Amino acid sequence: MACFQDDLTVATKHRREIVLITDRVEDIVKKSGVESGICLVFAKHTTCAVTINEAADPTVRQDMLAAFEFISPYLKEYRHMEGNSPAHVLTSLVGPSEVIPVRDGKLALGTWQGIYLCEFDGPRTRRVCVQVLG
Please report how close the Cβ of residue 47 comes to a copy of itself at its closest, in angstroms.
Answer: 8
Residues touching a copy of itself, count (CB under 8 A): 64
Please report how close the Cβ of residue 25 comes to a copy of itself at its closest, in angstroms.
Answer: 14
CB-neighbour burial class of residue 92 (10 A; exposed 0-12, middle 13-18, buried 19+): exposed
Cβ-based nearer residue to a copy of itself, 5 or 14? 5
Site residues (CB under 8 A) for a copy of itself, limited to 4-63: 5, 36-38, 40, 42-46, 51-54, 57, 59-60, 62-63
Please report how close the Cβ of residue 109 comes to a copy of itself at its closest, in angstroms.
Answer: 7
- In angstroms, what is the C-alpha Rg of the chain? 16
| H runs (alpha helix) in the chain | 22-32, 58-71, 85-94
Q: Do β-strands 48-54 and 113-119 pair in parallel, antiparallel, or remain unpaired?
A: antiparallel
Q: Taking the C-alpha atoms of 112, 115, 121 and 123 in order, what is their torsion angle to the nearest 10 degrees?
A: -100
Q: Which of 25, 85, 119, 121: binder of a copy of itself (CB under 8 A)?
A: 85
Residue 68 Cα distances to 40, 55, 119, angstroms: 24, 18, 11
Question: Which residues touch 121 (CB under 8 Å, ≥6 apart)?
Answer: 15, 47, 48, 84, 87
Site residues (CB under 8 A) for a copy of itself, limited to 107-126: 108-113, 118
State the residues that interact with a copy of itself by CB under 8 A.
1-3, 5, 36-38, 40, 42-46, 51-54, 57, 59-60, 62-64, 66-67, 70-72, 75, 77-82, 85-86, 88-89, 91-103, 108-113, 118, 127, 129, 131, 133-134
